[in-house]
């Protein structure tokens, strides 16, 4: 079982998205478990503050290192010692499918969700948090980012997906974006009366041709939308 601990100022946001659909089923089946640690329980002074003004000035507040350490120390010693510790931040290493695959093999993960301007850097360095970003944009807090990372990771754990083979061909598995999909009706008439057919090759039953068509579409799409990924694929082949 993947044992997950989340340090957050908003524990009520969990499991959130993670208790629905296939991932929710995995939660019920105890393929993973989530415990939240409320940062507010480890606040200081009579107001139980968890943040303070940034040294050097500037807007916003910063999560205090002593609060983060106290919250982390509330986690059982063995979990704290053995777990991967992640701080979600827009200034971290960009998350990708390869990293999710690595995380899916872990038994223990601890995630720190930031708020305000972020977390005192000393806490991250001293307590050993790896900094990960879910994309080049800024959210209000780390809770949704944590759910994005966890959903991507948990679906890769064996037994979670109904069709595990879908992982082999989906986007990023080969440094390619996935080919387009089509389903019934074979001819779809839209509300303006225009008719749209499914590519003929997909109805041919000729597996080799279907495979070739899908690969071509994948390559075409990747070259257009993500030329950076395509260059990566070519480099891998060399």
Binding residues for ligand SAM restricted to 97-116, rule: CB under 6 A? 113-115
Is 65 or 90 the residue whose CB approaches ligand SAM more closely?
Answer: 90
Q: Is 55 in the site for ligand SAM (CB under 6 A)?
A: no
Q: Is 7 in the site for ligand SAM (CB under 6 A)?
A: no
User: What is the total count of residues that contact ligand SAM (CB under 6 A)?
Assistant: 19
What does the alpha-carbon distance between residue 15 and residue 147 come to, in Å, rounded to a whole number? 8
Task: Retrieve residue 160's tokens.
Answer: 């979670």
- From the CB of 233, what's the least distance to ligand SAM, in Å? 25
Select the span of 23-31, 85-93, 98-106, 190-198 touching ligand SAM (CB under 6 A): 85-93
Q: Is 151 in the site for ligand SAM (CB under 6 A)?
A: no
CB 84 within 8 A of CB 106: yes
- From the CB of 62, what's the least distance to ligand SAM, in Å? 9
- The residues facing 4 across adjacent strands are 34, 109
Those residues with Cβ within 8 angstroms of residue 226's Cβ, 6 or more apart along the chain or in another chain? 177
Q: Is 187 in the site for ligand SAM (CB under 6 A)?
A: no
Q: Is 56 in the site for ligand SAM (CB under 6 A)?
A: no
CB 11 within 8 A of CB 4: no
Task: Retrieve residue 151's tokens.
Answer: 């959903």
Q: Is 15 in the site for ligand SAM (CB under 6 A)?
A: no
Q: Is 64 in the site for ligand SAM (CB under 6 A)?
A: no
What does the alpha-carbon distance between residue 39 and residue 63 come to, in Å, rounded to a whole number? 9
Which of 12, 59, 137, 185 touches ligand SAM (CB under 6 A)? 137
Is 90 or 215 the residue whose CB approaches ligand SAM more closely?
Answer: 90
- 3-class secondary-structure state, position 71: helix
Helix axes 207-225, 227-237, angle to 10 degrees: 120
Task: Retrieve residue 192's tokens.
Answer: 């303006």
Is 18 or 176 the residue whose CB approaches ligand SAM more closely?
Answer: 18
What is the number of other CB atoms lying within 10 angstroms of the CB of residue 232? 13
34 preceded by cis ω (within 30°)? no
Q: Is 65 in the site for ligand SAM (CB under 6 A)?
A: no
Which residue, judged by CB position, is nearest to ligand SAM in the bound state?
114
Residue numbers at the binding site for ligand SAM (CB under 6 A): 88-91, 113-115, 117-118, 133-135, 137-142, 145
């Amino acid at each position: 079982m993947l044992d997950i601990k989340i340090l957050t100022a908003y524990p009520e946001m969990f499991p959130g998205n993670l208790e629905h659909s296939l991932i929710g089923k995995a939660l019920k089946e105890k393929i993973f478990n989530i415990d939240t640690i409320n940062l507010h329980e480890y606040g200081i002074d009579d107001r139980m503050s968890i943040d303070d003004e940034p040294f050097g000035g500037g807007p916003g507040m910063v999560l205090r290192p002593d609060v983060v350490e106290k919250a982390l120390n509330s986690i059982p010693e063995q979990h704290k010692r053995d777990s991967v510790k992640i701080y979600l931040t827009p200034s971290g290493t960009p998350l990708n499918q390869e990293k999710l695959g690595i995380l899916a093999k872990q038994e223990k993960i601890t995630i720190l969700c930031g708020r305000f301007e972020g977390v005192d850097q000393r806490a991250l360095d001293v307590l050993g948090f790896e900094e990960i970003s879910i994309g080049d944009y800024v959210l209000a807090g780390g809770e949704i980012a944590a759910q994005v990372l966890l959903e991507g990771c948990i679906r890769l754990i064996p037994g979670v997906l109904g069709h595990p083979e879908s992982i082999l061909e989906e986007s990023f598995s080969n440094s390619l974006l996935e080919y387009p999909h089509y389903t019934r009706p074979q001819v779809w008439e839209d509300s303006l009366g225009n008719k749209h057919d499914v590519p003929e090759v997909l109805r041919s039953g000729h597996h080799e041709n279907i495979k070739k068509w899908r690969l071509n579409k994948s390559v075409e799409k990747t070259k257009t939308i993500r030329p950076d990924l395509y260059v990566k694929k070519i480099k891998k082949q060399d």
